[in-house]
Homo-oligomer: A and B are copies of this chain.
Amino acid sequence: MADLTKVIECVPNFSEGRDLKVIEQILDCFRGKDGVKLLDYSRDEDHNRLVVTVVGEPNSVKWAVVCAIGKATELIDLTKHEGQHPRMGATDVVPFIPLNNVTEEEAVELSKEVAKEVFDKYNVPVFLYEKSASAPHRQNLAKIRKGQFEGMFDKIKEDEWKPDFGQEVHPTAGVVAIGARMPLVAFNINLDTNNLDIANKIARSVRFINGGLRFCKAIGIELEDRGIVQVSMNMTNYTKTPLYRVFELVKIEAKRYGVSVVGSEVIGLLPMEAMINTAEYYLGVEDFSIDQILEKRMME
């Protein structure tokens, strides 16, 4: 038996979308390193934010990410940071996502190792979030980040918002959230109406918080240039709530408003399994295994 190749993904968000010199120094931590592959990055000037997508062998990714957080801590000063996107740290959030032959537990463990390094090396306090959270109220990033950098100095004095590592907000780099989560698929379904109310009603009927599917977040949005509306979704666990299930459910809900589904979109990257389990469903394939996929076998 060949050794199985372990692959983890990391999508760190840094609070710099404008200064290319800073951005390049952060990206350099992911370049030319064995076992690390920089897949993608996007910077947004309005948000003043950089989002990096990197994959690779877990230990190699770990040290590349620690390097990048060090650079961000050194080069980004949050006391001077302005942008539309909420933020609480020079490195704002660092999710680790298990991809190939990595368990959720291993991703959680890796996120905690990175958290410890970040505090030991750079003195930046860390909140463990999502699957790595030390308490249920600390799973949700938005709740941790509420108050942002400016409010964090008071917030972390509260017992329930004491960081997992560290006690004092870093004066220029703030605090950071680090944790493990499942891959997220951004999946949008287009309707043949311009009535936003209908998209919102359908969104409420399929999303978890209102009684819908367990791993679905959804809102209605307008596509003004096309004159239609869309159910815009984040699928937070495609293995347990597959794309075909929400797609069929949206069609069923749309019917009561006399509306049809006219197409869909997948935004950004997604693991092949999210598409393959959908093909498997529609073709009614019996006893299919992901190991029948050539590319999966090649990665082992």
Contacts and interface: CB of A to CB of B under 8 A. Distances in A.
Contacts of A99: 294
Contacts of A262: 284
Copies in the complex: 2
Question: Which 7 residue pairs spanning A and B have beta carbons closest together?
Answer: A275-B279, A278-B279, A279-B279, A282-B282, A263-B284, A275-B276, A263-B286
Interface string A263-291: 11110111110011011101111111000
A37 interface: yes
A39 interface: yes
A285 B282 CA distance: 15
A284 B279 CA distance: 12
A296 B40 CA distance: 13
Contacts of A37: 2, 298
B284 A266 contact: no
A243 interface: yes
A196 interface: no
B294 A55 contact: yes
Nearest to A295: B272
B271 A293 contact: yes
Contact of A271 (B39, B288, B295): B295
A261 B272 CA distance: 26
A239 to B, nearest CB: 14
A52 to B, nearest CB: 14
Contacts of A265: 285-287
B270 A293 contact: yes
Interface string A39-54: 1100000000000000
Contact of A293 (B269, B284, B292): B269
A286 B271 CA distance: 18
A238 B243 CA distance: 22
Contact of A282 (B7, B268, B279, B298): B279
A276 B272 contact: yes
Contacts of A4: none
A250 to B, nearest CB: 11
A294 B276 contact: no
Contact of A263 (B285, B292, B293): B285
B247 A283 contact: yes
Contacts of A85: none
A278 B282 contact: yes
A9 B264 CA distance: 33
